[in-house]
Amino acid sequence: MNDINVTQWKQANAVYQQLMDLTVSAALDKLNGMTGLDDGIKSMVLALISSGNQSSQYLQQWATPELTAGSDQADYQADDQLGDYRLEVALGEGGMSRVFRAVRLDGERQKPVAIKVFKKSVMTPALISRFAVEQDILAELTHPNIINMHHGGTSESGSPYIVMDLIEEARDIDVYAAEHQLSRRRKLAFIITAGQAIAFAHHNLIVHRDIKPSNLLVDQQGQLKVVDFGIAKLMTRAEAPQKTTIMALTPTFAAPEQINSGQISVTTDVFSLAVVALQLLIGESPLPADRLLKSCAEDEEHVRQLLKSRIDDADLRNILNQALQQDPEKRYRNMDSFVQDLQAWMDNKPVMASPDSWWYRSKKFAQRRSALFATLVTLVVMSLLGVTLLAHQVEKTRGEALKALEVKDFMLGVFSVVNPDQSQGDRILARDLLAQAVAELKQQDFSDQATQVELLSSLGTAQSQLGLYPAAKDTFAAALKLDARAMNARLGEIDVLLTENEFAAAESRLAEVRPLLEQPAHQAEWLLLHAKMLSFNGDYAAALDEARQAVSQFAALQLHKQKLQASRQVANVLFLQSESPRAAELLQQELTSLTPLLGPTNTMVLAAQNDLVELFNDVGDYDQAIKYSESLIDNITTVLGEEHPFLVQAYITRAGTSRATGAIEEAGEFAKRALNLSQTVNGETHQATARAMNLMAVISYVRGDLENALERMREASRLFDQAMGADHPESWDVKTNLVALLNMNGQYDEAISTVKPLYETQREELGASHRSTIYSQTILARLYGDVGRLDEARLLGEDLLVNAMADLGQGHPLTIGGHFTLARIYQKQGELAAAIQLMERVINHESWQDDNERVITAYNSLADLYLEDAQSEQARLYKDKSLQAARNLLGEEAPRTVAQMLKSIAFYQHVDQPDQAVQLIDRVKQLLLENQQLPASFAEQLQALEKPQG
């Protein structure tokens, strides 16, 4: 660049700065009135205005790198400290601000954030006002598809900044669509999601005013976020900007009223989102390049010709044409209407933008129900009874109207209980509302029985999703009493039977309905249910095959929710086969592709996200577990409320993550939330309440409070028996947990009398190789060993290890547990070499990783074996490894870590290493003084250990 171009740019930039606070028309008038300005400089200013970018972006196009680097430095750079944050790397830059990835300096395990910092070189009163508006706007918006603002502030040097969520690996929506080669439907699904988020802002009296691809970001999970409300309009605030200035304008996507200084409203965002949609569909900018200078005079004709030549679907053309009308009064009245029409197009239903007629609605019906429509047409042609058909249609319409009226009356009757005058201040929960609905439905007479049957089936499904299985079974039975062939009710009943462990009845029902299946969707649902039964019976190969078939069939039918449900079953079978990494990868991929289609708060999406968190917990990927868990909890609380039943399981799963990472207090807090919420929304005897109580017991054990753990585990066992039945797999699992605690507390007789009949029942009903059977057999073998019944213990231990190795594999946790148990029995029988060999086989296996609490016990047990076998150096090696693992996994103040310290003190004293023992004694004393929550028994143990040193 030569000197005259540099000088011209500086002059153009200075002129542009003078115009930034003006509306477009006022800026152009003022520019044209500058008679002493060179035409070349005017052209550069016009290019700045028309580009919709500020001068720093313009520099990148016209100036040399050296000039760009030094022309407009931001006040902050990477590695600077801003408030409580360190700026790591610059993510993007505009003329007014710069965005950084940042981390908090005084926090632990906090996620990185994004910080937008204004440049002092362009600070004006208008910009300061804009910054304040953006803070207010973002603070008022909480939606899963809108960027979250944490807080705002002003730096010591006077630079305003905003701290927001960081969208990892974000892509502009058009870039994401190109990279993933999205289909037309997938692109429009994203537009619908964006529209729903923007409509939420509209409902909060906020207009975005700058909808464009770079403000619609898609993260690495395929979730869309609407960002940059920096020029949004608060419709309730008189001081908010009412006219669009050139600094707050992207001409390529701006509505005509923004360019022409007209009135801004919600239809402004409708126009801009429609521009983004059309650009995604055709792959190029859909509006004239010179529209700003021509005041949008040619927009309408340009769009009309473009739609005609590039969009082949008439309904989609009509939708976009209405959204892109130059006159705001002719557009959709609001964003909700635009989104509804797009969704109707996705569902092959009539759209409001197309002229209505009987023929049009028949055509749309034909697209949705092609086979049925073809049959009707054939009948019409063959019978030539057009008049009769018309009369039939009229009668059918009347029947549909009557059906709709009956359904409306039914729903009003049900939901009247929410009316304060009727509820009398009582809390109305989902289960109560569903029970009221079923009772009303059973009493009400419908002219069309099929409607009543379908409503009952739907209510039964809702009850089942909330875990109200006995109620769901009764509701399905009521539907089948009216129509024994009602397939939705029959399949729903089978699902409940499987959940309640009634395998024989479920298998019989599955065999009965299979010849009756006509609809492809019902055939796929049958496959899914049969896969569940096969997995319960331990036939994992067949279960995996049928679940995958169900996934393929649902995908072919474009039944996205059912496809995700089937994918969850595939992941579950993989988990049961100890292939958690594959299961997590599959489920993550499915969520990425299906969440944009279903929405982030769809019930199946939430359930799949919770499954994914559990899988990440199982494989030890706790960062991913925390990430998905936080998103899951945020989505539920934001959209469904803070007392939704889905939150209970989300809290339970998050507690599991916290426990695994050593954050025991945090785990206890989440478990407590789960228990309190479940007692409130589900009741005292619900299975979710029992799960939360079981978790509370486990956390009490980890804290070292065995007495409290036993009390809670007894209560959890009682609750599971009441909620699920004594023969349900979850009831069995909690009983084995109880037995393990009884064993630790030396209550051997009660433990054996509890687990022995359980093991015998499982072996008979589930088989010797089932996970539940092996788990119970492991505990029984351990108990026999502890009470001296060593021959019986050995037989059980060797048998279970053979079964576990054959069916679960070497790396499965139950197989590892079997090795530990048998090694303990060998030790009691004096066969130390055999015991050491078993333990080393586990620790040296390729699947062994030092990221799970089991390593603490494993290393400690192996150290004791080596010590007993007079191999002191090896014993010390593994005793040290055990203590280090406890510190790494749980933290030094965790009760289990302190307990391991006490064991290490006794070990060092035994092997005559007093210096190490004294060092640990001093550390335990300090911890006991600092942490009053540690069990009092620790002080007693320490006092006993100190006596030999006196």
CA–CA gap between residue 795 and residue 801 (Å, rounded): 10
Q: In 580-645, which residue ranges form alpha helices assigned H by DSSP?
A: 580-598, 603-619, 622-635
SS3 for 211?
coil
CA 925, 928, 934 angle in degrees (round to 5)? Answer: 145
Q: Please give the structure tokens belonging to residue 564.
A: 């995700």
Distance CA(938)–CA(930), nearest Å, equals 13
Q: Are 928 and 938 in contact (CB under 8 A)?
A: yes
Which residue is associated with the tokens 């939901």?
415
Helix (H) or strand (E) holding 675: helix 664-681
Annotated binding-site positions for ATP = 116
Q: Helix or strand or coil: residue 905? A: helix
Any idea what the Cα angle at residue 520 is, between residues 514 and 521, rounded to 5°?
95
CA 894/CA 679 separation, integer angstroms: 29
Is the distance from CB of 218 to CB of 224 less than 8 angstroms?
A: yes
Residues near 171 by Cβ (< 8 Å), separated by ≥ 6?
A: 179, 217, 218
For the chain, the residue count is 950
3-state class of 703 per DSSP? coil
C-alpha span between 899 and 941 (Å, rounded): 9
Residue 440's closest CA among 466, 477, 415?
415
Closest Cα to residue 735, out of 714, 749, 750, 704? 714
Q: Quote the crossing angle between the two packed helices 622-635 and 603-619, to the nearest 10°.
A: 160
Binding residues: 116
3-state secondary structure of 853: coil
Contact 113, 73 (CB under 8 A): no
Type of residue at 399: G
- What are the DSSP calls for 248-263, one per residue? G--TTT--HHHHTT--
Contact between residue 158 and residue 82 where contact means Cβ atoms under 8 Å apart:
no
SS3 per residue for 868-897: HCCCHHHHHHHHHHHHHHHHHHHCCCCHHH
